[in-house]
Amino acid sequence: MRYIDESLADGETIIQRGKWPGIFWFGAWAALILLGIIVVGVVMFLTAWIKMKTTDFAVTNRRVILKTGWLNRHTHELAVESVEGVSLDQSIVARMFGFGRVVVTGTGDAVIAFPPMANPVEFRRAIETARAQANELHLARTDRAVLENAVEAGERTNENEPDAELEEAPVRKRWRSFIGLRVR
């Protein structure tokens, strides 16, 4: 089971899961085939394979998550409500092959720079969708009915009661002070 699947909270669902672009897999396999005779090719392939297999990134309905590392795990998580901006970086070659980098900025100094991913526009769209849904107020049917009944009851009581004059609160004398000297 993957890290993100294990760390989901109750009621949290994955909206979009990021994945590595095919061109990166092609590069790893090309290094293995072309340089496979030499140990360098095998090392390059294993390095790329381990990095791609141990990196996990996704957008849930509550968080944006990036997990990297195999022996040393590093996670970057940001609540959807605290996302301030999402930027997308794609060169012309990246657009031709359908990959790019997404950078999410949050409140304070929170920045999550994702590795190159396939379909970065869909990933950014998923973050924006999660942000929009997080700002909506979700009520259960029973809660909504109770709230509507309370509003109706409040309107009925306000219609039956005449406007009462507001009592003025007595004016309190304020203490004036200047550098520790109090004068009434």
Q: Is residue 1 pLDDT above 80, yes or no?
A: no
Separation CA 78–CA 86 (nearest Å): 12
Averaged pLDDT, 118-137: 87
Q: What is the pLDDT of residue 140?
A: 64
pLDDT (tens digit, 9 = 90+) per residue, 2-23? 778 888 888 888 888 888 787 7
| DSSP symbols for 128-154 | HHHHHHHHS----HHHHHHHHHHHHHH
CATH class of 10-135: mainly beta
pLDDT (tens digit, 9 = 90+) per residue, 76-107? 999 998 999 999 999 999 999 999 999 999 98
Q: What is the pLDDT of residue 137?
A: 62
Per-residue DSSP letter, 176: E
Q: Which of 58-62, 143-147, 157-161, 175-179 has the highest mean pLDDT?
A: 58-62
Q: How confident is the model at residue 184 (pLDDT cuts 50, 70, 90)?
A: low
Q: Is residue 114 pLDDT above 90, yes or no?
A: yes
Q: Are 128 and 86 in contact (CB under 8 A)?
A: yes
Domain limits, the chain: 10-135
Separation CA 142–CA 35 (nearest Å): 65
Q: Is the pTM of this model over 0.75?
A: no
Q: What is the pLDDT of residue 95?
A: 92
CB neighbours (10 Å) of residue 172?
6
